A = this chain, B = another copy of it.
């Protein structure tokens, strides 16, 4: 067992525990001489402060809670990488909370997070309901825990900082691309549930469509492949379509598959574009035109922003917008 305590270090370095503690946490408050001696002993003994004792005494945990919906969406995994890398740099541990769909136990999770006494919270979710936003506000106001929204935002509020791209603009740009190709019947394929970022994508789409004097068509489908396949087939029977902007790559690919089954050629008959630039887009044939979202960076930047908040540093821009780009591939002209 790792029995080495701060006391062992103090004994060996011939100082008090207080000094050992300071050498670790406030090195500038210790004379360079003794500091070095202490640090050497720490090294020699392989001493590592007990996280519980430290947490109990300091009321700080150097732990952040990462709250995610379910992890099955590829983008979240990549975001986690960005978060984890930066967390390591700043020596924070990550406590993972996965929200199941029902979210019945929201109150329970709140309590858990409080009990864990995390220093900060990263909230990764496309969807932020008013309830959830209020929940996060409570976390911040009542418990003084900084919160950052990662890859999402809440409309008309900037009291909780967020890191994201300009989804409205991105959607406008992709849609505009299809308009410029001369497409007349451009559909947006969005999701049934109300996702905040998808709302933004819809607005961007609408802006481009209206600007071009075309008629908007928003089709809401499920994220699940088997469900939306059925849905798409119906569409081909009843609608004229020559352009599609899907809110996710996988939905776009799924749409292309159905289009092909209906003997529609891509991109000559229909232009298709997606969002995220995942492996789905790259592996599809034709490869999918899409908005490239810097997912890793969004994770990394939001973790960095959170560290600033946890250190009470001044944060000037509560809403960080990262750059995106449009990647043209074979699914459009």
Q: Which residues of A contact B (CB under 8 A)?
A: 1-2, 46, 48-53, 55-56, 61, 66, 70-74, 76-78, 80-81, 84-85, 88, 93-98, 100, 105, 111-112, 114-117, 142-144, 225, 250, 253-254, 257, 260, 279-280, 282-285
Contact = CB atoms under 8 A, between A and B. Distances in A.
Contact of A70 (B46, B81, B112, B279): B81
A98 B84 contact: yes
A72 B178 CA distance: 31
30 contacts: A1-B142, A2-B143, A46-B111, A48-B112, A48-B115, A51-B55, A51-B117, A52-B53, A52-B55, A55-B55, A66-B96, A70-B81, A71-B80, A71-B84, A72-B74, A72-B81, A74-B74, A76-B77, A77-B77, A80-B96, A88-B105, A93-B112, A94-B95, A94-B97, A95-B95, A95-B96, A96-B96, A250-B279, A257-B283, A285-B285
Contacts of A73: 77
A66 B142 CA distance: 31
Given A111-B48, A280-B280, A98 B80 contact: yes
B115 A49 contact: yes
Nearest to A116: B51
A225 to B, nearest CB: 5
A279 to B, nearest CB: 6
A114 to B, nearest CB: 5
Nearest to A257: B285
B112 A98 contact: no
B100 A85 contact: yes
Given A55-B52, A250-B279, A81 B93 contact: no
